Each structure stands twice: as structure tokens, then as C-alpha cells.
Amino acid sequence: QSALTQPASVSGSPGQSITISCTGTSSDVGGYKYVSWYQQHPGKAPKLMIYDVSNRPSGVSNRFSGSKSGNTASLTISGLQAEDEADYYCSSYTSSSTLVFGGGTKLTVL
Amino acid sequence: QVQLVESGGGVVQPGRSLRLSCAASGFTFSSSGVHWVRQAPGKGLEWVAVISYDGSDKYYADSVKGRFTISRDTSKNTLYLQMNSLRAEDTAVYYCAKSGGNYALFYYGMDVWGQGTTVTVS
């Protein structure tokens, strides 16, 4: 199972919005509504930010939103803040009854 | 307080075995699917395995299938990962994480993560 494709890095200034893409195939992202997004700060465990494409867990800021079109899922962060600087990973359920992660995207807040 | 605490990591020679543990507290362990996810040094996340709430369903990544075994002891609120025939490429921080919904495996995301335990194969 190949990793999902994410941009290696994105950047934005405080207050701006950014979008991170996550591209897979019809056997994973495109075939199911089970895409999640995780935030990971250096040396820390990942934190769930979005589940099942567009749902936010309790306690996660509404500045974070998710969507999907075809084989590509997206995470949008609006009103960028310094604390949003982290690595972001998408994951998807696959037709092989496994999970696959994206390669990760490093977000830099300028 | 909902918590997962991994243990059992260490340095092991190639070809040897190691068993990781993950102690759960603060939630109904017997209702939760639980995953192992690993992260090699400086690399991204890699899903390893998942076990259903009752232990009846287990799924593995191709990279560990046949070498790793996931199991659980509900009486001890503990998840395990038996790792055999270890290779250098298994070197990573290993996290356990619970599925976000009761009885769920692959949906609702992974909403609680442990702090990780480090395995070095060398």
C-alpha cells in the first residue's frame, strides 16, 4: 500500500488561510469517507484534528476544516496562528482493510 | 483522565524478538479498537496494526504481516505487540492509539495516543 501524497511543506502568515492536500486513489481516499488528519509538534504524539473527512473532535478549534473531492482530501486552517506550526498527516482507510498515512506536511507560520 | 502508556521498547539485535505493551486507563478499554502506529527517526507516521474491541479482528500492514502479532488482555486493560524477526527498518517510536468511536476500527479516527516507546534494532 503506497503512502498518500502530501506536499512536503506549506507556509503562511498569521491570520491567513492555508490548505494541505492529500491525494490517494479510488482504493483509499476516493472510495471511503474515512479520512483523518493529525497534527504533530516536534517530540510529541500526534493529535487528531479531523475525522471522517470533515468532522472535528471536541476541543479542536473551528479554524480547522476538512473536505474531500474525488481522490483528494484537504485540510484547511484559517486564521493561522503561531501554534499551528507543526507537521500534519492525513490517513485513510483502504480497500485492503488497512490504514495508510500520507508522507506528512510541514507547516511554517511566517 | 483518558490515557495510554506504552512500555517495552529498547535496543535489540536483528532477528530477535521484543514485546511492547500499552496500558489503558480512563475509558472503557473493552469497547475500543486499538492501533499501533510507528514513526522511524525523522520520518512520517506508518500504521502497523489494529485489533477490534473483542480481539476477534486483527489487521496488519504488509511490512509487518507474519512477523508482528497484535493482542489484548481486557482483564488487564492492556494492548500488546509481539515483534519477531526484527529488522533494522523496524527501528522507530511505536505509539498505541485508540479508535475514536466505540466498537470502531477504522472510522472516527484515532483520538487518544500514548507518548510512544522507542525500539532500536541494531
Q: For residue range A5-43, list pLDDT tens digits in order.
A: 999 999 999 999 999 999 999 999 999 999 999 999 999
Q: How many CB pairs under 8 A join A and B?
A: 69
How far away is chain A from the Cα of B96, in angstroms, using its nearest Cα?
10
Residue at grid coordinates 493482542? B71
Q: Give the Cα separation of B118 and B52 in Å (integer).
A: 24
CA B62, distance to chain mean position in Å, is 15
Q: Where residue A64 falls among pLDDT bands split at 50, 70, 90?
A: very high
Does residue A55 carry a pLDDT above 80? yes
In terms of Cα–Cα distance, which of A96, A69, A58, A22 is closest to B47?
A: A96
The pLDDT score that the predictor gives to residue A2 is 84
Mean pLDDT on B16-28: 97
- Give the best residue of B68, B106, B108 to mutate against chain A (max A CB count within 10 A): B106
Which grid coordinates belong to B31? Answer: 469497547
The pLDDT score that the predictor gives to residue A51 is 98
Instruction: Provide residues of B within 8 Å CB-CB of chain A.
Output: 35, 37, 44-47, 50, 59-62, 95, 97, 100, 106-111, 113-116
- The partner residues of B19 in beta bridges, in order of sequence, read B82
